[in-house]
Structure 1
Amino acid sequence: MPQITVDYSRTIEPAFDRDAFARALHEATVEIAAAKPEACKTHFRPSEHTVYGYEDPAQARHAVVHVTFGLLAGRTEETKAKLTETTLELLRKHIGGEGITLHASAEVRDLDPSYRKFDR
């Protein structure tokens, strides 16, 4: 914990500094949500095909990024909101590019009480 997943349109891959974003996101998660640095894990999932509204997907003028946090229960709504707001700021900073409209979002959800993990 936390489990962080970043779904994004592959069209922004050249403009998305994923390593720097993950590092900054982990630092923010430690500061805001009291996570341990070694517990922060981020999984990036590029989407081959993203469709926005009625746009012809071949035009690729829009890109989507959505960040999902899975945290153990107990964080306040204020903490969750600060984490998502900070995430959006970091996305602005770490995704460049001109000519593409970026649609970015983030959410924090509580992990189910059945959540278990192991390290080896």
Structure 2
Amino acid sequence: IQYDNPYDVGMSGLLGYGAAYEATNECDLLVLLGTDFPYNAFLPDDVKIVQVDVRPEHLGRRSKLDLAVWGDVRETLSCLTPRVKPKSDRKFLDRMLKKHANALEGVVKAYTRKVEKH
């Protein structure tokens, strides 16, 4: 996700930041799109996981899947999108966006603090 995406809550994994880890651990369903995500320690244990990938050897290689989809991500999403009901409840998203903004603010402060010259 691009840094200026209005739904960006950070990045997960070894170099993660923001609220991505928390959002991932509080989700109902985790969908891995075209990734062979190598950081199992950052994936929740008790969530349903769906993985979509064109490389069948990547499906379920690193985590237990509830559904493996062997296919192109773009084609798969274009078939699924019309079947998804839009949600108007943004509580979860807004909470994660706020946590992400707070985390970024802390990082910026840590790296931009004034230091006395000696």
For the criterion TM > 0.5, the same-fold answer is no
Question: TM-score normalised to the size of structure 2?
Answer: 0.25
Question: For the pair shown, which has the larger CA radius of gyration, 1 or 2?
Answer: 2
Report the structure, 1 or 2, having the larger strand content. 1
